[in-house]
């Protein structure tokens, strides 16, 4: 019999995959991309995704953009698992991004599961290049010489902003408590027509982006770090589906509902 704590840990691993790592990622110089950057911070945009393994519903992800004030954009992401006994996990993330380079300025995460409640806070000073971090065990720990970075939500906005940079591949450096790991996003020249529930199951023309994140020693659910994103081929550049490889098959995030100004 699987212990409740182990099941909760597996769901945390699952949420890690669903949030494309939820790790700090160093920013590359996207100004070199041979494509116009798309505007992706639209206040009150709300994207609702269903997380599935085949026909099995695993959870829900909501991404909502808040206000943009003085060059800083607020974005919120929430994830919760499907109603399965002993597997309750709910994660809420609020970020502030600098709209000039799409890198993060503050991060707040709250997690609730069968093991209890957890939180993380961080702020980044781009002038001093210092990162201030707090959680249940650490208070205001300051780390110096940190280059501008993103988290998982930031990567999603970067992919949207530069989805037209066909033929370009970018390298990121992921940093967590065990060290640094590379992440690449390949903005391919491939297109795909995808049936999207949020558009009444209409077939939508999308650009294909391929990514690879080194998972380190954890390899949750046998994930190899590979993911494929399908982004609408228009100015909005909305991800309509993201597939992430695991040991058997893949987990998919599928756009179920959309609200845009």
Specify the pLDDT at position 254. 96
Give the residue with greater pLDDT, 19 vs 165: 165
Instruction: Check pLDDT > 50 for residue 11.
Output: no
Cα distance between residue 87 and residue 7, in whole Å: 6
User: Mean pLDDT, to the nearest integer, of 195-208?
Assistant: 97
pLDDT band at residue 160 under the 50/70/90 scheme: very high
38 has pLDDT over 50: yes
Instruction: Find the DSSP H helices in the chain.
Output: 4-18, 152-161
Rg (CA), the chain: 18
First to last CA, the chain: 49
Q: How would you write 47-93 as a 3-class SS string?
A: EEEEEEECCEEEEEEEEEEEEEECCEEEEEEEEEECCCCCCCEEEEE
**Which residue is listed with tokens 């249940």?**
136
**Closest listed residue to residue 98, CA positions, set 132, 58, 149, 31:** 149
Q: Would the pLDDT of 256 be above 50?
A: yes
pTM: 0.84
Integer angstrom CA distances of residue 6 from 79, 115, 132, 177, 225: 19, 10, 31, 21, 22
In tens, the pLDDT along 74-104 reads: 999 999 887 765 567 889 999 999 999 888 9
Strand partners, 170: 185
Q: Reduced to 3 states, what is the DSSP secondary structure of residue 122?
A: strand
Q: Looking at the predicted structure, is the pLDDT value of residue 206 above 90?
A: yes
Residue 247 has pLDDT above 70, yes or no: yes
Write down the domain spans for the chain: 4-259
The tokens describing 109, both together, are 């995460």
What are the tens digits of pLDDT across the range 101-121?
888 999 999 988 877 899 999
């Amino acid at each position: 019999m699987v212990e409740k704590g182990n099941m909760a840990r597996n769901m945390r691993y699952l949420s890690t995959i669903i949030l494309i790592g939820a790790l700090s990622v160093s920013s590359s110089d996207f100004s070199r991309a041979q494509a116009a950057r798309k505007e992706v911070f639209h206040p009150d945009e709300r994207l609702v995704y269903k997380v599935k393994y085949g026909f099995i519903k695993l959870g829900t992800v909501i991404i909502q953009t808040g206000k943009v004030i003085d060059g800083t954009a607020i974005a919120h992401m929430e994830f919760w698992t499907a109603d399965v006994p002993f597997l309750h996990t709910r994660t809420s993330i609020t970020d502030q991004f600098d709209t000039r380079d799409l890198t993060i300025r503050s991060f707040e995460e709250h997690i609730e599961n069968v093991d209890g409640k957890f939180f993380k806070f961080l702020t980044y000073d781009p002038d001093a290049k210092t990162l201030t971090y707090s959680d249940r065990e650490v208070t205001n720990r300051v780390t110096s010489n940190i280059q501008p970075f993103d988290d998982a939500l930031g990567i999603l906005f970067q992919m949207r902003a530069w989805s037209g940079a066909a033929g370009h591949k970018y390298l990121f450096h992921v940093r967590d408590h065990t060290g640094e790991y590379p992440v690449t996003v390949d903005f391919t020249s491939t297109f795909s027509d995808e049936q999207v529930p949020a558009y009444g199951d209409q077939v939508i023309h999308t650009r294909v982006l391929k990514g690879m994140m080194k998972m380190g020693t954890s390899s949750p659910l046998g994930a190899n770090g590979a993911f494929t994103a399908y982004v609408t081929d228009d100015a909005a550049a909305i991800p309509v589906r993201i597939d992430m490889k695991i040991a058997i098959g893949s987990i998919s995030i599928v756009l179920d509902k959309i609200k845009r100004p």
